[in-house]
Amino acid sequence: QKEVEQDPGPLSVPEGAIVSLNCTYSNSAFQYFMWYRQYSRKGPELLMYTYSSGNKEDGRFTAQVDKSSKYISLFIRDSQPSDSATYLCAMSGGNFNKFYFGSGTKLNVKP
């Protein structure tokens, strides 16, 4: 079993839709959770960072962590074509020498 599971998509939505991206994980020691956005031919860009359980909002983006279910989500409101990218989840148990990444979900927002 992989440490982190993420649906690869692709996910195609119309402009303005609410997007939900998810990851599940198996290691209950994970405490730090991140979402990265990766445009084609670019490196991953940190989008959201959450410590432990709860929600965090930043503009159109909301990150949720449910540690009891070992499930994290990223919501994108009012999605835009510029949001079209691959979204990677990542997590760490506090040993910042080691991060665990999902395989990425490819999102396409159609104008």
Partner 1 sequence: SAVISQKPSRDICQRGTSLTIQCQVDSQVTMMFWYRQQPGQSLTLIATANQGSEATYESGFVIDKFPISRPNLTFSTLTVSNMSPEDSSIYLCSVVPYTEAFFGQGTRLTVV
Looking at 7, 11, 49, 75, which residue binds partner 1 (CB under 8 A)? Answer: 49
Looking at 1, 68, 82, 97, which residue binds partner 1 (CB under 8 A)? Answer: 97
CB of 66 to partner 1, least distance (A): 20
Looking at 21, 63, 88, 107, which residue binds partner 1 (CB under 8 A)? Answer: 88
- At 108, phi and psi to the nearest 5? -125, 120
**Pick from 21, 47, 20, 25: which is nearest to 36 by CA?**
47
Looking at 26, 42, 57, 81, which residue binds partner 1 (CB under 8 A)? Answer: 42
Residues facing 61 on adjacent strands: 58, 76
Nearer to partner 1, 36 or 83 (CB): 36
Nearer to partner 1, 17 or 31 (CB): 31
Give the binding site for partner 1 (CB under 8 A): 2, 4, 6, 8, 32, 34, 36, 41-46, 49, 51, 88, 90, 92, 96-99, 101-104
